[in-house]
Structures are given as structure tokens and as C-alpha cells.
Amino acid sequence: MRRVVELDSLRALAALVVLLFHLDPFKYFPGWSGVDLFFVLSGYLITAIVVENGDSRGFYRNFYARRSLRIWPIYYLTVLGLLAANPFLPRPISSASLPYELTYTQYTPLYWGKEPPPNHPALNHTWTLAIEEQFYLIWPALVLWAGRRRLVALCLATICLAMAAREGSNLLIPKYPQLVLVGRCDGFALGGLLAWLLAEDGWARRRRDLAGPGFGAMIALALAYLIWGSWSHGALGFIGLPTPMWPAETIFAFGVLYAGLIGLVALNAGGRWLRPLRLSWLVYLGRISYGLYLYHYVVYWIVDGCDPKVAVKGAQPWPIQAEKLLVTLVVAVASWHLIERPILGLKGRFRYRGDPSPGEPSAGESGSTRKIK
């Protein structure tokens, strides 16, 4: 599958807006939607991988081995590191929440109407990683079952399910549905539609004259809705911190916005107007974006906990914010070079058929979907 480095840069931007949101939610309040950009990118990547390679021998073994090598090492290093430091932490990890954090099942008690145990403050953001892992577990089998002919129907049904859950019509989830997979799976499904459209023999590749304006229209319509709502109801109240006034429509609008952006970028990869997304430092940040996301909340909590005076109400002084960002970057860079990249070398043992190299394709890659019928 061909690598699209511009999509690595979108991953970097997604991570950066989340980092800024957690620095000052009132100033960077739309930044919570960065996780939805991650979800759409993941849906695009995973669907393309499954549709292209799903009929190859040992697909499930290779797929889950590669995903595990990418996601698990530094996640469990972080969780178990905090657990080992428990005696020295101002607030130890709770034994009630630890089983959920170890199994990527944060907030799942909401499915049966039970309030989940609170996460450790340094791990509050890992609900998104739990949703991703649950998506990886379920989606490949659904895509292989649907095949090319029913993939669009599968994605549309998934979108409807997520919006219904956020509207509260799903009685199994009476509270906070946007924190569990069933209430946030529309982003993944939008990415799945992109994988279908952008396949080598897909409609977007065959009709570039219509696909480009179509993706542009998606962006324009989503922005029109967000601007109208912000103008009518106030931006902070409408977009939310991070729960929007109308969760079903607003989260979907961000998903459509990001799907249109990803579609335009993937369709025009290598074009002159995308040159800023090929800046080496931005692409590099995209490569380490998982570490940036995973470590940033831990770093923020440690910086605040080590010096209670900086844990002021509201926005912190810019030197403290700069310190948090710098330390997060240093930790993520060290993690990438010392832990993640060496482990990723093991993926060569679990290659898909036709892989150009032992490396794992990133979210900035697209491929043919001709093999699954």
C-alpha cells in the first residue's frame, strides 16, 4: 500500500489540538474533536488493510499481532509504571479502575447503566484508546462479512447506530454514550466509506473531477453547521467542553468535516498545495503522535502534582504550558526511538501478502480493495 505522508501530518495536527485542549479547555474548546480526526483516520486505514488483505492466509494473526506491537507496549508501560509508582503518588491508581484500564474497557459499565469507577487522573484520556482497541477487535470481522458489496451499507448502519446512541434512543446507554464505542463509531464508519471511495478502483479515483468537489462540499456543509450553531447559541456552549449542545449532530459534523479533509488530502497526495503537510518536522510529529497523545496527560498531571502552586484555576501561565508541551515532546521522542521503533521492527514477522516492506502501513496509506468481493 502506498504511503501518504500528508496523512501523517494530519495525525500530528490531531494530537496537537488535543494537547492544546487539555492545556486550556476554555481557550481551545474545539480541540476535543481531535480524537474524532483520529477515529476517522483509523477507520480509513483499518478498512483499507482489511479489504485488501483479508483473504490472505493468516490474516487475523498478522493483523492483531501488528496492532498489538504498535499499541500495547507503551500503553502497558505507562499503566504499569504508574502502578509501580503508586506508593509515591499523591493519588494512587484505584484497584477498582485498574482492571478496566488493563483490559481497554474503560466506561463499559455504561452499557448496562452502571456508573464506572473513576480512572486515575493521569489516565483519564485513555477512554479513546479503549474505543480504538474495541474497534480493532470487532471491525475486521464485520468488513470481511460484508465484503465490497455490503461495505457501504455496513458503514451507513454504523453511523445511524452511533447517532441514535448519542440521541439517547438506545436504552442500554442512558448516560454519556459518546464515551463508549457504540456512541462514537460513526467516525470509524466515515473512514470506512473513505476506504471504499479511495480504493484504486473506487469511485473517487475513477471520477476525480467529481470527488474533489464532493469532499469540498462535505467540508463546507460541516463548517456551515458548526458556524451557524456557534453564531446562534454561542461557540462555547454549542461546541461544548467537551459535550456539545447537540451531541448526535455536532460530533457527526466534525466527523464529516474530517472525512472531507482526509479525502481531499488522500486524493491529491503529492500535490503542490499540500506541500505544508510534507514538512519533515510535521510528518515526524505524526509518526510519534501516539506517544504524544498517550504521555501528555501523564506529563501534565505530574507537572501539576509536583508543584501544587501551578495548578491554578483556569488557564495556567504560558511558561507552565510551554513546559508541559516540551516535556511531552521529549518523552514522546525518547519513547519512539528507544521503545516503539525497535519493537515495530518485529512486524516484519507478520507481513501481509504483497507488503512492500516489513514496516506497518501508517494511517496515511491507502491501497487497493480489489481482493475482497
**Residue 175 has what pLDDT?**
58
pTM over 0.85: yes
- Hey, what's the cell of 259? 472525512
In a domain, 191, yes or no: yes
pLDDT band at residue 1 using 50, 70 and 90 as cut-offs? low
At 295-345, the pLDDT tens digits run 999 999 888 875 444 444 457 888 989 999 999 999 999 999 999 999 999
Gap between the Cα atoms of 97 and 109, Å rounded: 11
In a domain, 372, yes or no: no
Q: What angle do CA 242, 28, 223 make, to 5 degrees?
A: 75
DSSP secondary-structure letter at 25?
T
In a domain, 373, yes or no: no
**Residue 146 has what pLDDT?**
94
DSSP letter string over 81-133? HHHHTGGG-SSPPPTTTHHHHHTT-TTGGGGGTPPPPPPPGGGGGGHHHHHHH
pLDDT band at residue 369 using 50, 70 and 90 as cut-offs? very low
In a domain, 257, yes or no: yes
Domain that holds residue 276: 2-366
In a domain, 61, yes or no: yes
In a domain, 253, yes or no: yes
Beta carbons of 362 and 193 less than 8 angstroms apart: no
In a domain, 330, yes or no: yes
Domain tally, the chain: 1
pLDDT surpasses 60 at 68: yes
In a domain, 371, yes or no: no
At 30-39, the pLDDT tens digits run 999 999 999 9
**Residue 177 has what pLDDT?**
82
